Each structure stands twice: as C-alpha cells, then as structure tokens.
Structure 1
C-alpha cells in the first residue's frame, strides 16, 4: 500500500492509502468526515497533473556507509563507502492535483511510483469517460482561449522531473565533502 498525503480538497486532510485499486481516506470527524471514504480511481478519477515535484537525497545513508567504510578500511574506505551509500539514493515526491467525479478535487503529495499509477489510470479513463464528465474535465482545464473554438485536451498532463547531470554532480560533490569532514572528525578524535 502506498501513502498519499492530502493537503487540500474535498477529502479529509492527513494520510490516505492507495492499494488494491482503491484510495481509502480515514475517518476525520473533527474535519467533518465521520465515515471513511473509499474511492475507485478506475471509475472516479477524471484528471491528474503535477503541481510540483521534489527530489530528496538520502545523505544520512551515505554518511553511515562512509563511516562504516572508514572504520573498516580507513580513509579510502570512507570515501568509497560514502559514494556507494549515495549511489542513486534519492526519493522523488510529487505534489499533484486530481479531479474526481462529483466535482471533487484533491491536492496531495505522494511518491513518483504511486503518481505514475494514478496518472496511468487517469489516462485510461480519459478515453472512456461519459460525455458529462468530459465537459467537467474541459471546465477544469479551461484556459484564456475560447473553449468553443478549441477541442479540449482530455489527456492528463505528462511531466516528469528528472535529475540533471548538474544536480548529480552537485550531489556527488556534497557527499564527498560530507564524507571528508566525517573522516577528518573520526581520525582527529579517535
């Protein structure tokens, strides 16, 4: 089961779970939701789009493997352990907006894998929606242009943030600096 952090919308704020083809929002009586809400995205998800994405590096793991490598193999082990611990240890968090049937909307955060699953469902649904729901999607995506002259784009937006080589270089340099500082502290005080 994947976690979805609800930020705003027509659903209770807090954590929801996505798994087995459903999104389950827990009871939140203080927020006006006395019962749990269960959504079936394959039937109710109209559109989904990225609002923001973040890439978090897991420097703690790199530092831990660097220290372990330093203790076992000395300075070279510290550097190599730090680099191995940092190898592709990033977590992508995506903030997204979603529209559901019944004119319900959601602003939430989740991991990239869960977002791609939901985006795939929305893409499949866009081709199979009844006419009334297609009008709803058109109203959500309305732009400054006159909607009567332009065919609405019913497909969900596809935007995936990737880590650039500059970002990878900055991450590697940062990890090397952290590793060298930890190595210096260990050898200075121990």
Structure 2
C-alpha cells in the first residue's frame, strides 16, 4: 500500500464510520470519493491510495478509510495526521489506536479509550518481555498476535520497526490482504 520510503500512519477506531473518522482527522467531505485500490502503483513514490486519486488532484496526504467489522481504519500515506488525532477518535467512549512509522524508522503506537491515553509505545525502547504484561489486555493480545520476525539486523524475538503497524492491524481484526481490501467499500481523500 505504501510507497517505497514510507512515512505513514494507520488509525483504527471502534464504533465510528469511515467518513466520520476522516472528518475527525480534518478531511473535508467535499473531497471524499469511493474508490477501489488499483492493482499496482504507477511508480515507487506513489502509494496505492494516492494512485486511486485522479492525477490532476491537488497535492496532499492521501487518506484511505474503510471498515472491517466494528473497526474503522484510516491509512495516511504521508503521516500528515499523527498521535494527537487518537484522542479525538477515541471520544465518546470509543477505543482508538494509531501506529506511525517515519522514513527515519521512528516507530510508535498510541492507544486511547474514551479520550484517555492508556498506552504509548516507542518501538525503539520496546522490550516485549517486560512491557507486554503492563499493557491493556486487548493491546497486549494485539502485540502478541503481531509477533516478531527473524531479521538479520535483530536478535531473535526483538521487535522490528513494523511491529506497531501489525499490532494496530491485529487490534482492529484487520487480517486481510490488499485483495480483501479491494472487496470492501473504501473512501479516499486528500488532506491538503
């Protein structure tokens, strides 16, 4: 979904429709359009959501939103939205989380319930053995399900920079492929 050098984030929120989540993040409804993700990206610098927008659109962050079960996700291809938005998404008793990964490999995840931050995870300092027991139950389970990978630059069992993205996906039950996403209603817009 991302371009080759991602600087992106994913928001998930339980109990809020995709268009409402986009509005909370500052997107204007007049720019919303339904879309189907294209089969490929036109080049290494373009995300799939950006490719779904017309070439003559003004520039800005492409936001893609959809709903899987009770959870809505919003993918921000430029990281233009951030953790500060999670509080707003979690208002009125909702649960929300945001995972960010920058081009500089800064990776983090925040988890909020009813306007209150319950967890902030800086992946650089994440010690799964020590930190998981102190996390809220559903976030702990999400990290457990996200798992780790044996990568040549990490010791076995150490978290990689994408663990937050996998954890937020596990939290929201987004165990799906791009083809699965192409089968659900999606809304795309620019945040300029």
TM bin, normalised by shorter chain, reads under 0.3
Of the two structures, which has the highest relative contact order with CA contacts closer than 8 Å and spacing of 6 or more? 2
TM-score by length of 2: 0.27
Q: Which has the higher helix share?
A: 1
TM-score by length of 1: 0.27
Tell me which structure has the larger Cα radius of gyration: 1
